[in-house]
Chains A and B, each alone.
Chain A
Amino acid sequence: MPEVMQERLTDIGPPHYDKFLPPIVKENYGKWRYHEVIKPGVMVHVSETGKKLFTVRAASPRLISIEKIRNYADLADKYCDGYLRFTSRHNVEFLLTKEENIDPLIKDLRVLGHPVGGIQNSISSIVHTQGWIHCHSAATDASGIVKSVMDELVGYFETMVLPGKLRIALACCLNMCGAVHCSDIAILGIHRRPPKIDHENLHKTCEIPSVSASCPTAAIRPATVGGKPSVEVIEERCMFCANCYTVCPSMKLNDPLNDGVSIWVGGKVSNARHEPMFSKLAIPFLPNNPPRWPEVTDAVKGLVELWAKNARKYERMGEWINRIGWPKFFQMAGIEFQKEHIDDFKHAGLTYKRSTHLTF
């Protein structure tokens, strides 16, 4: 028989979600009446029909092997007829119809090394990015800091003792893959040295006009260096954003001596109570200190505990700081206010204090 040319499928899109919904979800789709948190990491959704769906949420490092995914699949088969889902914060959720399966599942997850929690007034998993595992622009690693910070904070993942929700996110450069700019605590990798220009190769790898145009502060201008067409950077104007590096590999920002981490606080995306807010700069710079980043870990833990001790019920980090004021926050956190805390980009003027509403 002649071989039939196999048709090459394209543009088929993702599988229809309907194929993956457990029967109880299909039957009660849009009919959920209310939910209750039974214990840390476990909730029940009750339908208008009286049907109950139990969810067990477990932590994940986000970077997972196929072996681990197969472990998840086995657990789903054992306890939930093969159905599971993931959350927007990289947690895995098992969807159970039998209440008696909850505890055995949690036990198996413990054996596998995956704590259960992250619901309600807890710290959920840290949304994060690729870092040194997979990205060229990283000013720090992502997974290593996340692991180190969560080893310290896992107690708050597994309980619900905090005043409200606390969302931490990490991005390893200003590209910010992930919503770190609106998190209760954001950990952000930063460069602090202007691009090191590879004059030998720049004209071969990059278009000079687009390199100049890429800079938001117009710090880059065409120049001839060593007889070759290249660019020069007006260093005082450089804010280390790495836009030039994104368009041109010959403008390297990565630099072990100067790269590190900044900490931002008080952002949120939910509309509950206060409107969504950006995170604001708390600590301008902490060093990269792998493998455990003790300075970053201590700083984050300190901020979490300061908020936990002082915030009122439901108050997110930013709502608490709004109530007490930023000077008080800096004082209580023991962070020295410095020039870097004052904005100097586009809408900087809007951030100056324009009243006498001050605490002493």
Chain B
Amino acid sequence: MNDAQRFSFIQEFDAFGVADALPQMPLKLKYRDSEVEVLALLDTGASVNVLPYRVGLELGATWEEQTTSVTLAGNLASVEARGLLLSANVGNFNPVPLVFAWSQSNDIPLLLGRMNFFLEFDVCFYRSQLFFEVRPKS
């Protein structure tokens, strides 16, 4: 069984100047020969992983080549999105395939949701102690 890797909540101030702490972690995403390092928000409320438009472009993905059109709910309901399969490195763990709804919006964080980040990893949140632990599924 893999050991869990620990990440710190990232403290930020919201629009009202109130301190908040977000479960964000660094992630290496790979598509063909391109690789980018991003900060991703773990979001158990999200049905799917969501990729901001600019990150897909940085990875060299071409919008027109992606043929799986998906419809998102919530704030993203008006934003067009297409399925994009990437390889992801979390911490020191082996790379895993993560499938994203690549959205045509840059006004969102990169979200890690239930399809399929939370299928690949078990996560424990310790908000009061400002850390969380991530472990590949056993």
Are A and B part of the same complex? Answer: no
Mark B residues whose CB is within 8 Å of A. Answer: none
Mark A residues whose CB is within 8 Å of B. Answer: none
